[in-house]
Structure 1
Amino acid sequence: MRMIIVAAAAALAFSAATVQAAEPIEGNWKTASGSTAQIAPCGGSFCVTLKTGKHAGKQIGKMAGTGGSYKGTITDPDADKTYSGSGTVSGNSLKMKGCVLAVLCKSQTWSRL
Structure 2
Amino acid sequence: MFAAPASAGASSDVPIASVWRNPDNSVHVRIDQCGGAICGTVTWANQEAIADARSGGTEQLVGTHLFRDLKPTGPGKWSGKVFVPDLRQTFSGTLQFQDGDKMVGRGCVLFGIICKSQTWSRVR
Question: Which TM-score bucket, shorter chain as reference?
Answer: 0.7 to 0.9
Q: How many residues align?
A: 94
Give 1:25 shift: 4.1
Q: Is the CA contact 1:23–1:90 (under 8 Å) kept in the aligned structure 2?
A: no
> CA offsets per residue over residues 47-86 of structure 1, 9 Å max, x none?
1110111211111121111631100000111111110000
**SS of alignment partner, residue 108 of structure 1:** strand
Bigger proportion of residues as helix: 1
- Say which structure, 1 or 2, has more relative contact order (CA 8 Å, 6+ apart): 2
Q: Percent identity?
A: 29
Of 88, 102, 109, the match for 2:112: 102
TM-score normalised according to structure 1 size? 0.76
User: What are the ranges of 5 or more consecutive residues in structure 1 without an aligned counterpart?
Assistant: 1-19
User: What are the ranges of 5 or more consecutive residues in structure 2 without an aligned counterpart?
Assistant: 1-6, 51-60
Specify the code of the residue in structure 2 equivalent to 1:58: T
Specify the code of the residue in structure 1 equivalent to 2:33: P
From the CA coordinates, give the structure whose radius of gyration is larger. Answer: 1
TM-score normalised according to structure 2 size? 0.69
Separation (CA, whole Å) in 2 of partners of 1:29 and 1:39 = 8
Runs (4+) off by over 3 Å: none
